[in-house]
Structure 1
């Protein structure tokens, strides 16, 4: 019993010291000015910051509101955005009720002595609290026990983007707030005033985007350890396409139109037409590489801008191939005329020799024989496949050769100058039709 009598005062002293250590700052505040915080000296009696309000009873209702100060960057390559927000949380703790109708703003360092919700940002990659010149936190205590806890946070949040319509796309991003450890039996998250709980987002001015609309949602996150409350701010960002029109679409269209200039240049101007074709192809290739280098990490996507650049490249390359076909047909036609002129000249010379011989010999009979002999030599090139003297395999070869010549004749361009004539009309017409389908699909579907 003696040991027990000595032990009891020692335990009592330890408890008192522990309470004084944990709430030492508040006790000093009471002793310095008790009139500024009426009844505050009784607030800390029996208070345990490790236990939530209404512990063992009903869940704590936590109302939240947001101010979006800025969205500094939106990265398509990393698929995230960086935003600075003011997060305000309100809840009621009956253990902190005091008399009067006043509210008091406390030193932010006192938050270490109070219970606060364990809210975190879902899908956050990097986050930090601002601490210049002091930690940007606010604690305000109301007489009915309501606590206002405000934070200034900069966070980088993942945003899954669909870039198939880039740069005519609209992205939907989210900012999600969830309780880390307390499930829905302990805390309930709610927006303070619905959609009006979010401010500042309609005033944002972004470099490439315009905020179309935003709305708030209340949801739950089902995990293995329980169901946790979650608040969602969802906003839609529409990309401004004017920059891309001036930077990519207009230059690529002008390059296609430049390639059509070669249709008005004659086929004999080989250096001029070749120079235009090769220059436009190389310029288009450089433009395509430049547009893809800005989104190097998203090249696995087939974007709308890639489709358009591919269309322009096809038309430019087609103009170069058109000249190659027209020039080849023209050279083939010139080559075909040359052999025909050769036998005609030889025939004229032979006829002159025959006439001279006839005059010298004065023989009409010999003149007729030589003429008939010449006509036989000329007609000997035209082989008649129906000749009875030909063998069977020679007839088969002859028939196949004639059919091949007919087939080739179908694809032979009789007048190469018509290729340029039709290209002047068909190339612009098809390009306009493709543009109509392209813009209609990506803007309205």
Structure 2
């Protein structure tokens, strides 16, 4: 009996325990299906707050969300009877389009292709009476998707080669409609435009790169462009890529061109740039000048060292040829000579003349030594005792002729127009002229032809004044001494004249 009573009590205890733990187990099973949240657990809201939040009110349901339906109604109203294929004021008056340009970046400027790249925001403003509305909204700002539903000026850039419209993340276009019918259309684009460069003064050149635009189909009688007080916003601190150039300013111009389709108004604005001289000077002018001066070193080398002087002269000429070719490597193939080409050509002439100077010196001195080695002088004939004094004077005169050299006389034309070459002749010494080799040459010139004024004195020990009786005495052996002064002085005066002309033009 007792075991049955105990069993009955145990069942009652288990039943009551299951009734108490049942709801808690179910709540724990429900929480286990949710995400695990770290940190303090949020407190469950009270029933009163939950009921107040979840209970819908009539004011929320019946109230419109902002002014969106009103703006949609205005836009649908003005576009309901709008024909975007016709311009404003058609048949009555021309459409006036006001233009404004904002430059984001300018450059690079390609010299070889004669074009430049520009990134701009192009703004056009006009009035369209069909878009007027009367409401509290001052303006309606629309994105690029609505552009196709409005009339937009067919403006195109006349000197553009390639044009890109930006479309990331959406087409970079915007339309703003004012309540009085004023329309503002803005678009961002990158243009690669042609720029005709005049390279006469290269590398001291300055250029004006234009950007011209006009209507493609509407002549001047239908569409008129005008500047908004020439508003051209330029942010130089932005991504400028001019590299070799400096921006010096901007200007504008308006003109009318005649075509078979009518007269069109063309608007142009110019970006003025000037070249940075330091880059070209370091790569062209400095090497050319140094190479020219290097060729003058041969004037201080002995004339007997023919291999050294020849190799130096040839190296200088070839270096100038290479520099001239290198300067044209990244240069447009223009048909005229630039300032840099002229400078390199003069430097080439200086180097070539330095090489020719040694060739002339070597040729003249070699011929003179050959003449001294085998002189062809006529010996005086044998004389009798009666003429002994005359023969002695003839022998002395022959010895004097042997010591002197042959005078090289410049050719000249006689009275009959024929050219004559003078040869050495003997002339008895004049009583008023001091004796010496230079005077022998002067007498030689005077005897051969009175019209000769210049000659070369090829006597090694010739001494005397430079000007003697109107003749210029040039010593062949002193040709290097003359060149040491003549070449640097000539190059200095050339540079002075060159830079004065190039920098002032």
Fold similarity call, TM over 0.5: yes
Q: Does 2:348 align with 1:317?
A: no
* 8 Å contact from structure 1 (residues 64, 197) kept in 2: no
Q: Does 2:380 align with 1:335?
A: no
Counterpart of 2:159? 123
Partner Cα distance (1:257, 1:334) in 2: 31
Among candidates 55, 58, 70, match of residue 35 of structure 1: 70
1:34 counterpart SS class: helix
Superposed counterparts of 1:32-431, under 5 Å: 33-37=68-72, 39-98=74-133, 99-194=135-230, 196-200=231-235, 204=240, 206-298=242-334, 300-340=335-375, 410-411=455-456, 413-414=458-459, 415-431=475-491
Which structure has the higher relative contact order (CA within 8 Å, separation 6+)?
1
Of structures 1 and 2, the larger Rg is shown by 2
Q: CA deviation at 1:289?
A: 0.7
Partner Cα distance (1:267, 1:400) in 2: 29
* 8 Å contact from structure 1 (residues 215, 234) kept in 2: yes
Partner Cα distance (1:413, 1:132) in 2: 85
2:69 counterpart SS class: coil
Q: CA deviation at 1:297?
A: 2.5
1:438 counterpart SS class: helix
Q: CA deviation at 1:413?
A: 4.0
Among candidates 492, 495, 501, match of residue 432 of structure 1: 492
* 8 Å contact from structure 2 (residues 103, 232) kept in 1: no
1:43 counterpart SS class: helix
Q: CA deviation at 1:332?
A: 2.0
Aligned residues: 374
Counterpart of 1:28? none
Q: CA deviation at 1:37?
A: 4.4
1:39 counterpart SS class: helix
Normalized against structure 1, the TM-score is what? 0.76
Counterpart of 1:444? 504
Partner Cα distance (1:246, 1:268) in 2: 37
Partner Cα distance (1:253, 1:218) in 2: 46
* 8 Å contact from structure 2 (residues 109, 242) kept in 1: no
Query: Structure 1 residues 184, 296: CA separation in 2 closer, same or farther (over 3 Å shift)?
Result: closer
Structure 1 residues 159-206: Cα deviation after superposition (integer angstroms, max 9, x where no partner) = 222111111111122111101111222221111122x33433696451
Normalized against structure 2, the TM-score is what? 0.67
Q: CA deviation at 1:402?
A: 5.1
Partner Cα distance (2:194, 2:343) in 1: 29
Q: CA deviation at 1:69?
A: 1.9
Partner Cα distance (1:401, 1:56) in 2: 98
Counterpart of 1:26? none
Partner Cα distance (1:323, 1:34) in 2: 97
Q: Which moved more, 1:36-45 or 1:209-218?
A: 36-45
Q: CA deviation at 1:267?
A: 0.8
Q: CA deviation at 1:38?
A: 5.8
Partner Cα distance (1:155, 1:54) in 2: 31
Give the CA RMSD over aligned residues: 3.3
Structure 2 stretches lacking a partner, 5+ long: 1-66, 380-384, 400-420, 426-443, 460-474
Counterpart of 1:13? none
* 8 Å contact from structure 2 (residues 458, 477) kept in 1: no
